[in-house]
Structure 1
Amino acid sequence: MRLLLIAAALQVGAFTPSGDGRPPSRLRAEDKPKDPIVSAAGWPRVKALLDRLPVFTVANEQGQPLQYEADGKPLALLYADVDAAKSELKSAKEEHPSLGLDIVPMGLGEAFQLHRTGAAVLIPSQDSMEAAGAPKGASPLGQELPLFACMEMAVQGEDGKPVLPLFLDRAEAQQAVEDAMAADDGDAKLEIVGLSLHKALEQLVSQESSAFSFVPPASSLAHIQSYLENSGGVGVNTSPPS
């Protein structure tokens, strides 16, 4: 069922139930009970790497995300697929042409924190979700964000040490594997495995070092480059309204 747009609740802090006398509060992960992933000692290190991957939300000119209602609760929608965000933007503009809407990026680490608090929904791409085993045509709402990796393939990290690349896009993971096989000039067949972001992070935050890297989709990087050139780099506004 399509979530209902709350046109009057643009500010990301407007998650306080109406009528209780409290002002809208800033949406923060620390306002919720401790989470086993985001409260782990290794989370800041992992989050810094995750934040290099952009996700996208529909927002107004001040970078304040639109909110939607599900089961009486307002939520922000955060898209891993920039094309899905563009599609949502088109629909929102048609319904609310005066709001000055656009899609703006935020880091996946921050998005994951908001998702874990229940303040936002993190939405995977349709293609990647189906590549990870979901039925064709299934709704991405409520689905885990998938990652793709080849456990036999490593790339050089920033410190020169080998790291395992984790891809958000299945096709790009496959291309990287094919390139690696061609460069190696061997006969070995490298297998790509799918895993959920949630399960991967449970393992990664428990490690003492970052022997992995996250690879953003090429389409996301292309949009970010265009966005920065044309907008001056305005991001999602998570401050409470003045």
Structure 2
Amino acid sequence: MKALRRWSIRFGLFSGAMASMLWGMTATTLALPQSQIIEKLKQVPVFTVANEKGSPLVASGGNNSRVTGVFMSQQDAQEFVNNLKKENPELGNKVQVVPISLGRVYKLDKQNEGKSKELDFRYVPMEEEVNSALSVLKQQGQDIDNFGGVPLFIARGGEDQGYLTVKRGNGDPVIPMFFEKEQLENMIDKFKESQPQNADSVKIDVTTLESVLKTLEENNNEQLKQVVLVPSQESMQFIQQNSQQQN
């Protein structure tokens, strides 16, 4: 479980009372400060397509809007560039995949709100994880063929179906939400080993990155501060490689 390698393998269960907030069902006039949201997001690398000056590739959307893609996967972003080079070599050869933190994208998105030439950032999920999300929802009895948004996977268990937590090295409990279902399944396996009495109660839920961001913007509950977004294995490898190059 590489993404959690710095966290102690001590699991707990967090009250299920927070479920409605994470699914955007509870509204309040309080909001998590934007600086805290950015801090929570900045550890997640995402990928854009931009020219050598760093200007993002922009497409025209509805109502004369300007749209740029934000890929969760570096491979997906590179595949997009490769296809663009085939379909439009002149443009494709002028752009490249550029890494950026999700926190930076969120900050830019907020700075652009309300401007006459507002730039709309569209998150592009990993297809495999979209399929995993659809599978989870169908197993829960939902009749659904399309999944809108970037999937985030979270585990619940115990008598009151509280959220599974892990503890950081400093002992603070966090509620991990995964961009990749396989990583969550690895965590669940560890949980079942440590708490076999709760093994049969564990289940996987799925929400969207967009819903979580909206909830963070509209709620300032202490429990929300413990939500941690866990990048995919591909993104974790990118972080490690980038860190080694900087050192």
Q: TM-score range by the shorter chain?
A: 0.5 to 0.7
Aligned-CA RMSD value:
3.1
Contact 2:152 2:208 in 1 (8 A): yes
- The aligned amino acid for 2:231 is P
Bigger shift: 60-69 or 120-129?
60-69
Aligned residue for 2:6?
Answer: none
User: What is the rounded CA distance, in whole Å, between the counterparts of 2:172 and 2:244 in structure 1?
Assistant: 33
Matched residues, number: 191
Bigger shift: 145-154 or 181-190?
181-190
Aligned residue for 1:212?
Answer: 227
The verdict on how the C-alpha distance between 1:79 and 1:97 changes in structure 2, with shifts beyond 3 A counting, is closer
Shift of 1:56: 0.5
Aligned residue for 2:75?
Answer: 83
Shift of 1:81: 2.1
Correspondences of 1:30-109 after superposition (within 5 Å): 40-71=31-62, 72-94=64-86, 95=89, 96=91, 98-99=93-94, 101-109=95-103
Contact 1:115 1:122 in 2 (8 A): no
Aligned residue for 1:198?
Answer: 210
SS in 2 for 1:56: strand
SS in 2 for 1:63: coil
User: What is the rounded CA distance, in whole Å, between the counterparts of 1:206 and 1:97 in structure 2?
Assistant: 43
Shift of 1:43: 2.8
Higher helix share: 2
Q: Name the TM-score, length of structure 2 as normaliser.
A: 0.65
Aligned residue for 1:150?
Answer: 155
Contact 1:151 1:164 in 2 (8 A): no
Shift of 1:186: 4.3
Gaps of at least 5 residues in structure 2 are 1-26, 114-118, 136-143, 158-163
- Higher RCO structure (Cα 8 Å, ≥6 apart): 2
Q: Encode CA deviations 1:46-94: one digit per residue, 9 max, x unaligned.
A: 2211111111011222322211222333221101122211211212334
Shift of 1:112: 3.6
Shift of 1:177: 0.9
User: What is the rounded CA distance, in whole Å, between the counterparts of 1:93 and 1:158 in structure 2?
Assistant: 46
Bigger shift: 179-188 or 43-52?
179-188
User: What is the rounded CA distance, in whole Å, between the counterparts of 1:57 and 1:98 in structure 2?
Assistant: 15
SS in 2 for 1:154: strand
Higher strand share: 2
Shift of 1:115: 5.3
Q: Name the TM-score, length of structure 1 as normaliser.
A: 0.66
Aligned residue for 2:185?
Answer: 174
Identity of aligned residues (%): 22
SS in 2 for 1:178: helix
- The aligned amino acid for 2:33 is G
